[in-house]
Amino acid sequence: MIHKLAIKNFTVFRKAEFAFAKGINVIVGSNGAGKSHVLKLAYTTARWSYEMALREKQIQIRPDKATLQKELGRKLMGVFRCEGVGRLSTRTKGRLRTEVAVTFHDFAKANLEFNFSTNSTTDALLEKPPTEFFNDEAVFFPTKEMLTMFPGFTALYRNYSLQVDETYYDLCLALEKPLPKGPKLAEVRPMLKIVEEILHGSIELRDGRFYLKQDRGGDFEIPLVAEGFRKLGTLSYLLANGTLARQSVLFWDEPETNLNPAYMVKLAELLAAIARNGTQVFIATHSLFMMRELSLLLGRPENSAVDRRFFALALGESESGIQISEGRSAEEIEPITALDAELKQSERYLETQLPQPTEQTKTQ
């Protein structure tokens, strides 16, 4: 689980530090404030470390520093889909050095620090390499769903240069895992029940394609299912196949996309349940409704043990480049322009629905 992320001269951030909760982390902000970049950078470091752990197990020897640096640079370029790691440096005149430091909860051996400059190409220089790698899986849900694109996608991505970032490929690798049997499935059954009640069925993988098997009988090919439900179906399947287990990390960019408010309430309940089970959750959202619902839900007694942190990012003229406020609830962070506009619209709408005073009531 990721504890802290400290960055300097990275994309829109001149200087920033994030201290993340073990439970749920909610990042809100207007367009261009860097919320997706925070998610992707945290994901990249955790996923790279996990992949290096797998490589170490496979070849029975630790990759050397040159390999680690090359693989870290490759992962950054794959996730951010940039032409070179230097393109991730803050854009300004002259050369800059970008610095990133990552620490993990209860696993200091996986901590790392790396840097690169504006003219760097493929490698990220490891100033402090980890002494051990992060063994738990990190999963990233991009804004587009992947169940419909799944058939044959991993082979296509490996063999051709696709203009799709690597989070989609990594997600398909996770979806390829078969379903386990026994106690692990029993552990996630309460969470699966929440999703299956929304979908009125369960997600199945047959012959390389996904289907929604309805409770009342009949199967639907996944392209015939509403897109918002497909995203929930992805979550359901990763719970069922054990990818989202204790100590894993879930990153979700705009989970509210294509979901109406009634289902957002259920999604918030599901995210809280996943966090209670021991998975660290990160979400980036534009939705005032989603942010408030999570804040309300985490205030309930059953979620008192779930650590939480809310971050608000806003464009500004501060020395750090981006203004950042944080707290343990939505009420503790500074208003966001986009969310503030949503509040004002609600107020304007309510004003139009209220009875207008007549001449008689005005004189009374």
**For each of the chain's 364 residues, which pLDDT tens digit applies?**
899 999 999 999 999 999 999 999 999 988 888 999 999 999 999 999 999 999 999 988 898 999 999 999 999 999 999 999 999 999 887 788 999 999 999 899 999 999 999 999 999 999 999 999 988 899 999 988 999 999 999 999 999 988 899 999 999 999 999 888 766 677 788 888 889 988 999 999 999 999 999 988 789 999 999 988 999 999 999 999 989 877 799 999 999 888 888 888 889 999 999 999 899 999 999 888 888 899 899 989 999 999 999 999 988 765 667 888 899 988 888 766 555 666 666 666 677 766 666 666 555 5
**Nearest-5° Cα angle at 173, 277 to 85:** 100
Of 192, 216, 244, which marks where a domain is finished? 244
Is 337 part of a structural domain of the chain? yes
CB distance 125 to 69 below 8 Å? yes
Using CA atoms, how far apart are residues 107 and 245, in angstroms rounded to an integer?
A: 18
Residue 351: its pLDDT value, please? Answer: 72
Is 357 part of a structural domain of the chain? no
Is 321 part of a structural domain of the chain? yes
Q: How many domains does the chain have?
A: 2
Asked whether the CA dihedral 179, 236, 105, 165 is positive or negative, the reply is positive
**Short-list 334, 256, 252, CA closest to 290:** 256
CB distance 328 to 308 below 8 Å? yes
Of 183, 210, 244, which marks where a domain is finished? 244
Domain that holds residue 302: 1-137+245-350
Residue 140: its pLDDT value, please? Answer: 96
User: 177 and 46, same structural domain?
Assistant: no
User: 133 and 154, same structural domain?
Assistant: no
Beta bridge partners of 102: 5, 112
**Cβ neighbours of 5 (radius 10 Å):** 19
User: 343 and 197, same structural domain?
Assistant: no
Ramachandran area for residue 217 (φ above 0: left; ψ -120 to 50: alpha; else beta)? left
User: 272 and 238, same structural domain?
Assistant: no
pTM: 0.90
Residue 155: its pLDDT value, please? Answer: 93
Residue 246: its pLDDT value, please? Answer: 76
